[in-house]
Chains A and B, each alone.
Chain A
Amino acid sequence: MMIGGRSNAAAARRGRPWTFYALGGLFGLFLLFLYGPMLVIYLLSFQGPNGGVTFPMVGASLVWFEDIVKPGQMANIPVAFGRSIALASVISLLTAAISVAAGLGFRRRFPGSGVLFYLAVASLVMPSLLVGFGIGLGFKALGLPPSLFTSALGAQLTWTLPFGMFAMFAVVNRFNRAYEEAANDLGASPWQRLRHVTLPILLPGIIGVAMGAFTLSYDEYARTTLVIGQRNTLPIEIYALISSATSPTLFAIGTVTTAVSFLIIGLTLWRIFHMQARRAAGAPQP
């Protein structure tokens, strides 16, 4: 303790080594590269009514945000947004449910479990556009019309499920089996054990998986584009707009969708943090 304290004090006197500043600078550049373009878009979405899609800013206004909800070229945006949210919600529920079941099931080796595992995660490495293309062709061959909750749902699940399962395996791996044995010992039926012990203990991880799937689905483009049918999701609608119209409205849409993403992530983290905090420390005495 003494020795450690003294050497820390000595280090503080000498200041940090030059490498600290060099690496810090590099990290700063990386952050700028990462967030700079997005900041530009957020800024330009508040462009004045007479401004264009590039700098300089000609005043500041919210007209481009109003443009989103006005009837006209952008009429499809709010509808597409609604579809994206609906699809992402269903995707996140399905992904969470299937991943939990798979995570619990895969705790035990069974004949063919290795093959099954690789089959389930193989779609992560398949070219995404081709997966969508294949699903589209399949629907055509079967004479089924592609649509949001059939072909698009399936295409997105090929993407969210492997992610969800990987995450869930990690969560389940840290789950101590003694909790379940204790539940058995205390007379819980298998269903009671799942409901009152296993799921509540895994809940923070489950919420994380659900939210991960939600955001993956919310901005999925490559797999969805060929199987969505007549009614577009938001990313596909935006992509269509980029090629047909250029106005700061696109930036306004970017700002709004980003805000939605952050809101969802923020709420999730808050919820998980709240749960962890209650378990870890500081629950008030009633």
Chain B
Amino acid sequence: MRPPAVQGQNITMLARPRFDVELAAVTKRYDQTLAVDAVSLRIPPATYCCLLGPSGCGKTSTLRMIAGHEQVTDGDILIRDRTITDLPPARRGTAMMFQSYALFPHLNCLDNVAFSLKMRGIGKAERYAKAREFLGLVEMDDLAARFPAQLSGGQQQRIALARSLITEPQVLLLDEPLSALDPFLRVRMREELKRLQRKLGITFIHVTHSQDEAMALADLMVVMDQGRIRQAGTPRDIFERPATVFIARFIGGHNVLMTPRGAIAVRADRCRIGQADSGPQVSGRVAAVEYQGPVVRVALETQSGEQAAVLVPDEMFFARPVRPGDSATLSWSEADAHQVATA
């Protein structure tokens, strides 16, 4: 299967812009509430970027401002070195895939995908030929005559993707694209999105509240909270060096503990149960035990009342099992602990 020619690729060959997307102190204010607070971000060419954060953190507002569906209160947005802050959505070089997909219910798949070409006044034969090409890209050629209501969630998503991609965007914006799918399909579509992004060589900006999704997909993971970017980097950077207590808690898999020298984060899979000869440790009590297959998650409550968890490899756990109510000591090695800011 041949990918459709994407205009953007040719442009990047000639004069490669430094960034596909650049946000310069972008701010969004609704009446009195500040949804996005002077966010600045640079996304290098052909990046899979995930905006991650709890609901209400400003990630969707940021995406919608890039798309042009929300007015920017202050600041500037650049796409491939071109300021697009005040351009209408269709003239920005972006295309958006909506959370609800927003497929037009009165049009079949072919007409949905061909919609943008029809708006540009392109003749029937030409637009249908091109629409079929993009239906092929998402492996939906067989269902061209179906109406959206006749499709499963995953199929609707493919059609929505094809409908966005046919506009040959330089940046594809995806608003919680996987949230409507069941967990099994979610993992499959996730692979598919990444595959498409690689194949087309354009930037995807994907909004999600799921850290698994962001870790699996992102080249650049941007963690947001309360309208601000809290940390941006590769998923590995962020997982190994969460900057703040909030990030360590939000991305999960970490214990955040207060020590005399301040708050620290330690990965739950690097912690151990049982006394160590040297190194830091706190004593507490087993609160719960969850079998998770390859690992067993042991939840602890420390003497000072902090919650912690240890991921114990299953073999190790069953060699020396513990039960809820047992007293236990949580230990880790100094090298695995990172100072985290409390703000």
Tell whether, in the assembled complex, residue A278 and residue B119 are in contact, meaning their CB atoms are under 8 Å apart: no
Cβ 8 A contact of A187, one of B67, B100, B116, B147: B116
Q: Which of B110-165 contact A (CB under 8 A)?
A: 115-116, 118-120, 145-150, 163-164
Stretch from B45-53, B76-84, B90-98 that touches the partner: B90-98
Q: From B169, which residue of chain A is reached at the shortest CB distance?
A: A185
Cβ 8 A contact of B98, one of A182, A187, A196, A286: A182
Interface size range of chain B in the complex = 20 to 34
Tell whether, in the assembled complex, residue B145 and residue A176 are in contact, meaning their CB atoms are under 8 Å apart: no
Tell whether, in the assembled complex, residue A187 and residue B106 are in contact, meaning their CB atoms are under 8 Å apart: no
Q: Which of A178, A182, A184, A275 has the most CB of B within 10 A?
A: A182
Interface check A197, CB cutoff 8 A: yes
Question: Which residues of the other chain, B, contact A179 by a CB distance below 8 angstroms?
Answer: 102, 104
Contacts A181-B69, A184-B90: A283 and B108 contacting too (C-beta < 8 A)?
A: yes
Interface check A19, CB cutoff 8 A: no
Question: Which residues of the other chain, B, contact A50 by a CB distance below 8 angstroms?
Answer: none
Interface check A281, CB cutoff 8 A: yes
Question: Which residues of the other chain, A, contact B150 by a CB distance below 8 angstroms?
Answer: 280-283
Tell whether, in the assembled complex, residue B106 and residue A189 are in contact, meaning their CB atoms are under 8 Å apart: no
Interface check A279, CB cutoff 8 A: yes
Interface check A121, CB cutoff 8 A: no
Interface check A188, CB cutoff 8 A: yes
Contacts A176-B102, A181-B69, A279-B147: A187 and B108 contacting too (C-beta < 8 A)?
A: no
Tell whether, in the assembled complex, residue A283 and residue B98 are in contact, meaning their CB atoms are under 8 Å apart: no
Tell whether, in the assembled complex, residue A187 and residue B102 are in contact, meaning their CB atoms are under 8 Å apart: no
Tell whether, in the assembled complex, residue A201 and residue B119 are in contact, meaning their CB atoms are under 8 Å apart: no
B204 to chain A, nearest CB (A): 15
8 A-B contacts (beta carbon < 8 Å): A178-B102, A184-B68, A184-B89, A185-B89, A200-B104, A200-B106, A201-B104, A279-B105
Which B positions have Cβ atoms within 8 angstroms of A?
A: 67-69, 88-90, 94-96, 98-100, 102, 104-106, 108, 115-116, 118-120, 145-150, 163-164, 167
